Amino acid sequence: MPLIRAACIWWHHRKILRFAQDDGKARPYAIAVGLSLMAPIAVAQQSDTRRSGYQDMSKSVQTMQDDDMANPAMLWVREGATLWAKRVGAADKACADCHGGVESMAGVAARYPAFDTALGRPVDLEQRINLCRRDHQQADALANESRELLALTAHVAQQSRGKPIAPPTDPRLQPFADAGAALFKQRQGQLNLSCAQCHDDNDGRKLGSATIPQGHPTGYPIYRLEWQGLGSLKRRLRGCLSGMRAEPYAYDAPEYVQLELFLMQRARGMTLESPGVRP
């Protein structure tokens, strides 16, 4: 992609120069037209080149995601609806007792990770659910990637389906997002790769038979056909880390939330598809 972009810019410059050489008087005009043409093109390129993984999937997998009857993630969503109304913990409270109907969660998944003042750091949606369980339901935290936690997350995330990704502009989040951006560009593992080398520099190309996506978190939690189950963004990141032969961070490591935060900012404005299906 950067090559194509560079070629486009070169082409424009070449045209402007040629025009300018033809007639000296027309030079300022030509440059002005050239610049005014380039500005909207640059903007269009920025918004056009971001692609959800959905757009690169085969038609059959897209149909599977779009049809709630065929999307296997809906099994988790339905389980999540049961858990939402189930009273648990020493407080004997259900999610619904505080939050009411799950519709109140509309837009929540689109703006997480969010800053938690008590902890002094950002938390993602799964961690927020577990904090709610600990503080308000006085129940044990659900295990990472457990069926119950994924079910609740999927149920909450589904309420934001179709909404644009809108990470908060909280300045306290910025250092964490910056750390995530640095991590994204940092080479690691035995293959000495960074996330950016695949997802920024070589997106749309093939890795084996699979198309390399741009890595926008548009559908989490996702039902991945390869996993034959639902998984979080954290699981996806762990898969990438072991793919580049780096040791995945521990499940509660702050690095994941930093990366998630950066990825959400990178995908700002893209439509949330949760729960998504991916090959």
Partner 1 sequence: MGNALINVPGTVKRGEAFEIKALISHPMETGFRAGTNGTLIPRNIIQRFTCTYNGVEVFNLTLSPAIAANPFISFFTVATDSGSLVLRWTGDGGFSAEETVPITVTS
Choose which of 47, 169, 190, 228 interacts with partner 1 (CB under 8 A): 228
Minimum CB distance to partner 1 smaller for 78 or for 86: 78
Choose which of 69, 169, 171, 206 interacts with partner 1 (CB under 8 A): 69
Residue 225 binds to partner 1 (criterion: CB under 8 A)? yes
Shortest Å distance, C-beta 5 to partner 1:
40
Site string for partner 1, 74-113 (x = CB under 8 A): xx--xx----------------------------------
Catalytic residue among 95, 195, 198, 240: 240
Does 198 qualify as catalytic in the annotation?
no
By rule CB under 8 A, what count of residues binds partner 1?
A: 10
Minimum CB distance to partner 1 smaller for 104 or for 144: 144
User: Among residue numbers 143 through 162, which ones bind partner 1 (CB under 8 A)?
Assistant: none
Q: What does the alpha-carbon distance between residue 147 and residue 70 come to, in Å, rounded to a whole number?
A: 19
Shortest Å distance, C-beta 154 to partner 1:
13
Minimum CB distance to partner 1 smaller for 230 or for 272: 230
Given the rule CB under 8 A, which residues bind partner 1?
69-70, 72, 74-75, 78-79, 225, 228-229
Q: Name the residues annotated as catalytic.
A: 240
